[in-house]
Amino acid sequence: MADDSGIRISAKDFERIEYTIIAYNMTAKSTVPDTANIQLVEFGDDHADFTFPDKSCSQGHNIKFCVFMERLTPKKKKEIVKHFPDVEPQGPIYFSGKVTAMEPGSTGTIVVNVLFKQVDDEGWTAFCQKMAARQKQIIDQVKKMKD
């Protein structure tokens, strides 16, 4: 059946922005385990919400983050985690902050709000702009489909 709407949907419309977050709990002096479960939920200029594996931090803990704008292989993540935060790899975005609130997430996770204390302003701004641009693309595509 012919599509008269003029809307074309392609696989590219469903591409995700690939990134990897490695987090180190400076208060507990341990890397947040299972980096696959660390996801950005929401962000602002001075804070962000992340999903973390359950029991990986507590309110008031200080967390250091390293964000790579690519999906790292398990081998590469393991190598970085082994030396992080003492040896910071080149290229990623760094920031640190304090856990100000927590709530239960989906099974095995918690959602933590982190108030930034130190931020790579240029890197964080670029990351936020990339995420916001992708969100706008999605919203525009959905509007086209509704019209």
Residue whose structure tokens are 């964000």: 67
Please state the pTM of the whole predicted model.
Answer: 0.75
| Helices assigned H by DSSP within 1-147 | 74-83, 121-146
How far is the C-alpha of 101 from the C-alpha of 113, rounded, in Å?
Answer: 5
C-alpha of 6 from chain center: 35
Encoded tokens for 115: 């108030």
8-64: per-residue pLDDT in tens? 666 666 667 778 888 999 999 988 887 666 888 988 878 999 999 998 999 999 999
Question: CATH class for domain 16-146?
Answer: mainly beta
